[in-house]
Structure 1
């Protein structure tokens, strides 16, 4: 399928980092570890961001958080996303990353819609408290110094509590290097269609730093169309690359004006799946953990391909690389790319729902006393990501 345009896209500058292709891999919990980032890099170009890491966990140097911020020597620039709700703790985490030369780019998460995050005032819920949002971003930018710091956010909590325009202006004023918008509210989760018109609105409101668009990019054509329709400076790709790391090759080609699209055979998919398992084994320093982790990728990789339910079930319970090789060896590697069946949405969309929020969170956009208690509790969560 040819690209929608043959006009090359200009490079994307995020502070001193210049990307030949204006594409960013979205942080995804349990997905965008070193193994997956390395795999995506082998196919394309862009900025590849770590899965979300909790600031408190990083400050306390928990083993899991320290493992998650470790990059392979081949990864450059090194990009880390942080989550936090306390300005002091977030600044301390940023200071640590800079002082120990662990990152070339830092992103702050203000877009997570997961209930365990929003019910504590974090993620997509936090920009509603504009003063707190400003304090976190300003403190992080100051702590980052010469390292470019960006933010990723959603439109808001729900249709009645939109925050993206004000948050975008606050972040721009605080000195961030770029602003990314997932064009859905927390209430929408991943359901329905992303509202790309909101990305265009943000681009009109934020004029001195790049604005990146995120949401419903399943192909290079989608990415090019988003840029054309919204005027955004680049795209952030999340669920569209699940089981399809070669999408980054398509994106690179599309933005360079080349009419090229990957159409992997079943053998190509099997080889890539095996490579992913190998990289996961290296990342976890454990074949058992690597094989357990690759299981969740089975449905994404083989979507649309003639792989029977029994074999899929065996792949989803694989225990060793040798067993994986045996199972993949039963496939007909010559089977061609199945077309549209392998394309399109992937990952759970969920359904619209009322976001989980702290009691009284929407009563005011300024912090109240009970809000501060909730935020203290949130900072006690030291999970790695």
Structure 2
């Protein structure tokens, strides 16, 4: 399924984002021409020890084709057990391994981007995933290094594994989410890699053509620039779909209510903060939604603020 995408175009991926790229948001972006969706990062430990929340994160929408699940961890036995669990689920089209998360609680578990400091261990874990994966593709998401750019060393190590694709966030772990993205490093990775390279990091409608020119990447992965702007994928593809912002936001809220029930209002606030950026009186709007926990009240204020005509 992914092979066909690569043969005809430069596919657009929604990046896995903890607390953001949930089932509701993934369902929404698929309506606006996102090619590939990936689950939020799932702890292999939590999955193996039967965390209900982790099992819920494996669920997909009817329109998520293809859908990839992303796992994180550092223990070989636990990783294998997690893969075995994922293999029992229907309609998952690949497993992605997180070697890019920069947050301290993941680093302390020797997972995420900390694995970039131990490429032999990283390769062992990926070999386990690839050998046992029965869902489809095996891929990895990395950064260009931990404290400094070491992308050449990393790619040469990964070339030994014959992965289906590698997505690269063009910052080091040290750079977190604020350092300037090094698209040239992604371009170097592309020139060295034996597999497909997906460019990631601050990709927007305004810069996507330049990013492709610099990196020569086989596809683009968009994360935070899709939050508050889920139609970015249609924009990049020049689909010229009618964008009725208020209608989209209300649909997103409906999806959140179906997914989270009574907790939908509090969880949806972070999305409303992004949807309201650059709007008049956005500060007052955010202050008000931060205090609303009733679905009807939340829907009413959304309609009022975004001037919903429906």
1:93 aligns with 2:82: yes
What aligned pairs does 1:1-385 form with structure 2 within 5 A after superposition?
14-15=2-3, 21-101=10-90, 103-145=92-134, 147-159=136-148, 162-206=149-193, 208-219=194-205, 221-253=206-238, 260=240, 268-284=244-260, 286=261, 288-331=262-305, 333=307
Given that residues 93 and 135 in structure 2 are in contact (C-alpha distance below 8 angstroms), is that contact kept between their aligned partners in structure 1? no
Q: RMSD between aligned alpha carbons?
A: 2.2
Match of 1:376 in 2: none
Larger C-alpha radius of gyration, 1 or 2?
A: 1
With the length of structure 2 as denominator, give the TM-score of the two structures.
Answer: 0.92
Provide the C-alpha distance between the structure 1 equivalents of 2:203 and 2:304, rounded to a whole number of angstroms.
Answer: 33
Provide the C-alpha distance between the structure 2 equivalents of 1:16 and 1:172, rounded to a whole number of angstroms.
Answer: 22
Given that residues 142 and 167 in structure 2 are in contact (C-alpha distance below 8 angstroms), is that contact kept between their aligned partners in structure 1? yes
Unpaired segments ≥5 residues, structure 1: 1-12, 336-385
Deviates more, 1:182-191 or 1:162-171: 162-171
Question: In the superposition, relative to structure 1, how do residues 130 and 199 fare at CA in structure 2: closer, same or farther (>3 Å)?
Answer: same
Deviation at 1:15, TM superposition (A): 4.5
Residues 282-306 of structure 1, C-alpha deviations (whole Å, 9 max, x = no match): 112x1x2111110111221111111
Provide the C-alpha distance between the structure 1 equivalents of 2:35 and 2:62, rounded to a whole number of angstroms.
Answer: 17
Provide the C-alpha distance between the structure 1 equivalents of 2:270 and 2:279, rounded to a whole number of angstroms.
Answer: 17
Task: Using CA pairs under 8 Å that are at least 6 residues apart, name the structure with larger relative contact order, 1 or 2.
Answer: 1
Provide the C-alpha distance between the structure 2 equivalents of 1:179 and 1:98, rounded to a whole number of angstroms.
Answer: 21
Provide the C-alpha distance between the structure 1 equivalents of 2:2 and 2:306, rounded to a whole number of angstroms.
Answer: 44
The 3-state SS of whatever aligns with 1:290 is helix
With the length of structure 1 as denominator, give the TM-score of the two structures.
Answer: 0.75
The 3-state SS of whatever aligns with 2:210 is helix
Question: In the superposition, relative to structure 1, how do residues 169 and 261 fare at CA in structure 2: closer, same or farther (>3 Å)?
Answer: farther
Deviation at 1:16, TM superposition (A): 6.3
Question: In the superposition, relative to structure 1, how do residues 301 and 172 fare at CA in structure 2: closer, same or farther (>3 Å)?
Answer: same
Deviation at 1:70, TM superposition (A): 1.1
Question: In the superposition, relative to structure 1, how do residues 132 and 40 fare at CA in structure 2: closer, same or farther (>3 Å)?
Answer: same
The 3-state SS of whatever aligns with 1:213 is strand
Aligned length: 308
Given that residues 269 and 290 in structure 2 are in contact (C-alpha distance below 8 angstroms), is that contact kept between their aligned partners in structure 1? yes
The 3-state SS of whatever aligns with 2:90 is coil
The 3-state SS of whatever aligns with 2:280 is coil
Provide the C-alpha distance between the structure 1 equivalents of 2:99 and 2:170, rounded to a whole number of angstroms.
Answer: 13
Given that residues 150 and 179 in structure 1 are in contact (C-alpha distance below 8 angstroms), is that contact kept between their aligned partners in structure 2? yes
Match of 1:338 in 2: none
- Moved segments of 4+, more than 6 Å: none
Provide the C-alpha distance between the structure 2 equivalents of 1:176 and 1:130, rounded to a whole number of angstroms.
Answer: 15
The 3-state SS of whatever aligns with 2:285 is helix
Deviation at 1:316, TM superposition (A): 2.6
